[in-house]
Structure 1
Amino acid sequence: MCQVNFLILAGGSGTRLWPLSRKNFPKQFLKLPLPNSTQPESFFQKTLKRIALYPDDANFYIITNEKYKFYILNQIKEIWDNPDNSFDTVLEPASRNTAPAIALGVRYALEKGASLEDVFVVTPSDHLIEPKEKFVEYLERAVEIAEKGHIVTFGIKPTKPETGYGYIKANEQSFQDGYFKVERFVEKPDLETARRYLEEGNYFWNSGMFAFSGKTFIEELKTYLPEASIIFEKPMEEVFQRFSDLPDISIDYAVMEKTNKAVVLPLSLYWSDIGSWESLFEVFEKDEKGNLLLGNVLDLDVRNSFVFGDRRLIALLGVKDLVVIETEDALLITRKGESQRVREVVKELLKKGRSEAEEHLTVYRPWGSYTVLEEGPRYKIKRIVVNPGEKLSLQLHHHRSEHWIVVRGTAKVRIGDKEMFVHENESVYVPKSTLHRLENPGKIPLEIIEVQNGEYLEEDDIVRMDDIYGR
């Protein structure tokens, strides 16, 4: 049996689940209150637990970017007390879509000792798949097929005429050993076409999961995307330097739609890419009126609607077929059937330079998080949480002073040349242009209220002198 290497794609931005998913904290890291979950886990954590069930020794390479690196490390620690060294993180120098990302993952694995004869299994990190044990059986079968020189794509047997997924058409005459040759890939269809695909029976949803040997993948990539050959021909340092020059193209367009080595392995299980609010709506059981109401919701004569509330009371009266998603700083209201267009909202927000496209009011950092409670001309108020044993960088600000009030835990503080401990209901003042550092030496989360004053209060007014996280 060959060595198996899992490539977990964890660099996507998940814009279709805005305002919950945002560029700087995307869908794969969200912990949604999903049914049948005994504890809150992110899609990324569910993915790792699922593939970790693979019975043979395997290596795991998580392909992401610098911005998400610490989310990944922290979420791995949350589900495994002592994660072993088989989890390796590959940081993309730039976002260039799935074809270059997968190629970079394969090259990195080869540098770490993988063989061209090894099988690589590619999986996104933001899908739901049940039951896990059955999926692992399909993984084992895919590895066997990939060893024969095929590029395996996992096709999901459709249960309804779905317009939100691309499809794979299988060549019915080619069926052997449980898989088909791929006849063609087709784009997301309209409803009438999707119904026809369902009736014909040889169309499968394209899951975006693949298996192939290193040798087969490199040969096909060099044939159909020769621009990417530098990934396997140049030294790694040069690969990283020139990565942003590679085409921005998916593996489907670059290889799968052109190769004659593609086969589809049909999967008969529950699968969803949670690619829209409607797809999340389908995961849950509905009430007697066809509603899914999560949060502080009051409904009067409401039907067939999905409401997700964060904090505020949401009252709905006499409406139907709505999707209402509320967060601390944004409210999305759309008709069911339209939520695939949410990415248009994100594009418009980016065009207008609105921070709501990228950041939540709560922003996660390697050491913990901060939440903007209020801001106005020349002031900003934050709640800062520092995890036990963590500390912020040694830094200064040229344009603002800060006042820290400890509300929970004990802080170790450096201001200039002085170090001190600050306890609950005590405070300290940090003048402009003064080196300072905040640290949690305790066993419980440290929570402080920070009041900033100054002429410029943005996050780029930070001069770091020392940082244990290498930022």
Structure 2
Amino acid sequence: MTNIILCGGNGTRLWPLSRTLMPKQFVKLFEEESLFQKTVIRNEKVCDSQFIVSNAEQYFLAVDQLEELTHNSTSNTRHSTQYLLEPVGRNTAPAIALACLALDPEETLLVTPSDHLIKDEKAYLEAVEKAKYLAEKDNLVTFGITPQYPETGFGYIEAIASVIVESDSDSGMDVIHFHEKPDQQTAQQYINKNQEDQSLSQSTITKFFWNSGMFCFKAGIFLEELEKYAPEIYTASLKAFQNAKQEAVIRIHHEEMMNIPSESIDYAVMEKSDRVKVVPADIDWSDLGSFDALYEELPKDENSNSSLVLSDSKKEHKANDQLPITNHATGNLIISEKQVAVVDVDDLIIIDTADALLISKKGSSQKVKEVVKTLKERNSELPNIHVTAHRPWGTYTILDESNGYKVKRIVVKPGKRLSLQKHYHRSEHWVVVSGTAIVTQGTETYAVRANESTYIPIGEIHRLENVGKIPLVMIEAQVGEYVGEDDIVRMEDDFKRA
């Protein structure tokens, strides 16, 4: 069985912790592991390979975090991994279709988002085995989470089964209907219906489940149903796949991707197919779709405060002596990159990063996406990138920025190099702090060592490379009329970026 891991989400409801170039699935929130890493580790127990669908920017985060798992593993080998890169997201139906086209039609697939938290792993693995059994009988299987309260942030699955059939551990329930995210009153009606059916003696039972967004089916069966119920998505996906760059990493062309209708797997297939089964899954699950949800999952102190202290560069836990100070404060969630103290405040969400501060009442954190929308309307970079940005060759941290200049700390990993490039609006001054930089400037190549510097004029073709065995650390001062990140013209790039 192959685990298809969908990595395309941006996690806008967890801004400013989550950004487009460092979304929540790659932030290390629990036990110094990211949700993506936890997904990989969890599903390696039941799958013998993984197929990661990502956009080009997040692909390098996935590669780095998989390498980290390999480095930390006691095993010398990990499961085989394939990658498919989307230049732009078109929702889950095209993403899954493109992955299915790359795999054997008879291969059973476990499709999972990369940003879910599942704490009851034993129950999860049992549910996956049931789903696999049903998928091998040519069903499309989804996982239903028994709702614990009337949540309005999830879609719901309405399913039915006979009491006798439900007792069969290998049988799923037949799906009656997929429901949109309900209002509070409708969500409560679903909960009441579940409780009523439990108290009645009857031959069949109807249950409502949270829609987990996880699926299990054969690749060929999904494509058959997609072609039947959403032929325009199937045809456009097939064309995009056939015209893709079929290399070690499958890269879909931008124009081809844009030609695929944007649609979820639920709308495109699951709501229409008569092959759908749902496996109830009481697995202590959360999609961490808001800071309220994150608060529930983090440890609490004696006053019910949850906190997480992040470093300003690697997003890892700091020592306990830097945890927030909470005096006469209860029920707060505090995540910060610096020391925070709160006094006489209750039930607040305080998220403090190097370049943005969010303060919200608990219960209102779903509205964070409205803040992100406002920032995008202002053409702000804050929804997209942290002060420290992760690139395929390493990282850069913005130390200072104003009109006409920007100062960065650049770290290049051993054996990596930046693209061969030029800038139309800025010159660059480089000072090496540690390591040795190999600099290409025009037709000349030379070394710059610790405490040495070099200068790159406007319009000069240049490249930076680290051929050493330790990270190259340097300070870059950009000077010019425009110092935006999009003032880059790439001539060559090891990572095939545009």
TM-score, length basis structure 1: 0.91
Structure 2: which 5+ runs fail to align?
195-206, 245-251, 310-322
- Equivalences for 1:42-57 in 2 at 5 Å? 42-54=34-46
For residues 142 and 454 of structure 1, do their structure 2 counterparts lie closer, same or farther at Cα, with a shift above 3 Å needed? same
Tell me if structure 2 keeps the 8 A contact 1:394–1:464. yes
2:280 aligned with 1:266: yes
- Equivalences for 1:90-239 in 2 at 5 Å? 90-109=84-103, 114=104, 116-173=105-162, 175-176=165-166, 177-178=168-169, 179-201=172-194, 202-231=207-236, 234=239, 236-238=241-243
For residues 235 and 94 of structure 1, do their structure 2 counterparts lie closer, same or farther at Cα, with a shift above 3 Å needed? closer
Tell me if structure 2 keeps the 8 A contact 1:53–1:133. no
For residues 235 and 321 of structure 1, do their structure 2 counterparts lie closer, same or farther at Cα, with a shift above 3 Å needed? closer
Alignment-mate amino acid for residue 166 of structure 1: G
CA positional deviation for 1:232: 6.9
Alignment-mate amino acid for residue 20 of structure 1: L
Give the whole-Å Cα distance in 2 for the aligned partners of 1:88 and 1:402.
37
Alignment-mate amino acid for residue 436 of structure 2: T
2:70 aligned with 1:76: no
Q: Tell me the alpha carbon deviations over residues 134-171 of structure 1, each in whole angstroms, 9 at most, x when there is no partner.
A: 42232222111111222111111223333322221221
Give the whole-Å Cα distance in 2 for the aligned partners of 1:321 and 1:189.
25
CA positional deviation for 1:43: 1.2
2:337 corresponds to: 310
SS of corresponding position for 1:357: coil
Superposition CA RMSD, Å: 2.1
Tell me if structure 1 keeps the 8 A contact 2:27–2:35. yes
Give the whole-Å Cα distance in 2 for the aligned partners of 1:396 and 1:244.
29
Give the whole-Å Cα distance in 2 for the aligned partners of 1:230 and 1:12.
24
Q: Tell me the alpha carbon deviations over residues 32-71 of structure 1, each in whole angstroms, 9 at most, x when there is no partner.
A: 2x2xx2xx222111111111111x6x33211112222222
1:409 corresponds to: 435
2:19 aligned with 1:22: yes
How many residues in Structure 1 have an aligned counterpart in Structure 2? 455
1:243 corresponds to: 257
2:368 aligned with 1:326: no
Give the whole-Å Cα distance in 2 for the aligned partners of 1:286 and 1:21.
22
SS of corresponding position for 2:337: coil
Tell me if structure 1 keeps the 8 A contact 2:44–2:79. no
For residues 235 and 247 of structure 1, do their structure 2 counterparts lie closer, same or farther at Cα, with a shift above 3 Å needed? closer
Give the whole-Å Cα distance in 1 for the aligned partners of 2:215 and 2:395.
36
Give the whole-Å Cα distance in 2 for the aligned partners of 1:94 and 1:399.
28
Give the whole-Å Cα distance in 2 for the aligned partners of 1:411 and 1:235.
40
1:465 corresponds to: 491
* Worse overlay, 210-219 or 19-28: 210-219
Q: Tell me the alpha carbon deviations over residues 381-410 of structure 1, each in whole angstroms, 9 at most, x when there is no partner.
A: 011011112111222223222111122222
CA positional deviation for 1:21: 0.8
Query: Identity over the aligned pairs, expressed in percent?
Result: 47
Tell me if structure 2 keeps the 8 A contact 1:103–1:231. no
Give the whole-Å Cα distance in 2 for the aligned partners of 1:219 and 1:464.
41
For residues 414 and 344 of structure 1, do their structure 2 counterparts lie closer, same or farther at Cα, with a shift above 3 Å needed? same
For residues 135 and 415 of structure 1, do their structure 2 counterparts lie closer, same or farther at Cα, with a shift above 3 Å needed? same
Give the whole-Å Cα distance in 2 for the aligned partners of 1:284 and 1:44.
17
Give the whole-Å Cα distance in 2 for the aligned partners of 1:340 and 1:380.
34
2:315 corresponds to: none
Alignment-mate amino acid for residue 198 of structure 1: I
- Equivalences for 1:311-460 in 2 at 5 Å? 311=338, 313-460=339-486
Give the whole-Å Cα distance in 1 for the aligned partners of 2:85 and 2:492.
22
Give the whole-Å Cα distance in 2 for the aligned partners of 1:400 and 1:235.
38
For residues 228 and 369 of structure 1, do their structure 2 counterparts lie closer, same or farther at Cα, with a shift above 3 Å needed? same
SS of corresponding position for 2:424: coil
For residues 321 and 158 of structure 1, do their structure 2 counterparts lie closer, same or farther at Cα, with a shift above 3 Å needed? same
Give the whole-Å Cα distance in 2 for the aligned partners of 1:235 and 1:299.
54
Alignment-mate amino acid for residue 334 of structure 1: S
CA positional deviation for 1:356: 0.4
Give the whole-Å Cα distance in 1 for the aligned partners of 2:353 and 2:295.
17
For residues 305 and 431 of structure 1, do their structure 2 counterparts lie closer, same or farther at Cα, with a shift above 3 Å needed? same
SS of corresponding position for 1:332: strand
Give the whole-Å Cα distance in 2 for the aligned partners of 1:233 and 1:366.
29
Structure 1: which 5+ runs fail to align?
none
Give the whole-Å Cα distance in 1 for the aligned partners of 2:220 and 2:443.
58
Alignment-mate amino acid for residue 144 of structure 2: G
CA positional deviation for 1:251: 0.9
Tell me if structure 1 keeps the 8 A contact 2:97–2:234. no
Give the whole-Å Cα distance in 2 for the aligned partners of 1:107 and 1:185.
26
2:5 aligned with 1:8: yes
Tell me if structure 2 keeps the 8 A contact 1:76–1:83. no
2:316 corresponds to: none
CA positional deviation for 1:323: 0.7
SS of corresponding position for 1:282: helix
* Worse overlay, 209-218 or 190-199: 190-199
Tell me if structure 1 keeps the 8 A contact 2:428–2:478. yes
Alignment-mate amino acid for residue 44 of structure 1: F
Tell me if structure 1 keeps the 8 A contact 2:121–2:283. no
For residues 354 and 232 of structure 1, do their structure 2 counterparts lie closer, same or farther at Cα, with a shift above 3 Å needed? closer
Give the whole-Å Cα distance in 2 for the aligned partners of 1:170 and 1:87.
35
CA positional deviation for 1:234: 4.3
2:312 corresponds to: none
SS of corresponding position for 2:289: coil
Give the whole-Å Cα distance in 1 for the aligned partners of 2:471 and 2:158.
53
Q: Tell me the alpha carbon deviations over residues 93-139 of structure 1, each in whole angstroms, 9 at most, x when there is no partner.
A: 43111111111111122xxxx1x333222110111112334422322
Q: Tell me the alpha carbon deviations over residues 198-219 of structure 1, each in whole angstroms, 9 at most, x when there is no partner.
A: 3433222111001112333223
Tell me if structure 2 keeps the 8 A contact 1:107–1:231. no
For residues 117 and 441 of structure 1, do their structure 2 counterparts lie closer, same or farther at Cα, with a shift above 3 Å needed? closer
For residues 395 and 232 of structure 1, do their structure 2 counterparts lie closer, same or farther at Cα, with a shift above 3 Å needed? closer
Give the whole-Å Cα distance in 2 for the aligned partners of 1:27 and 1:235.
28
CA positional deviation for 1:353: 0.5
SS of corresponding position for 1:280: helix
SS of corresponding position for 1:355: coil
Alignment-mate amino acid for residue 484 of structure 2: E
Tell me if structure 2 keeps the 8 A contact 1:309–1:326. yes
Q: Tell me the alpha carbon deviations over residues 174-208 of structure 1, each in whole angstroms, 9 at most, x when there is no partner.
A: 74433211122222334444344334332221110
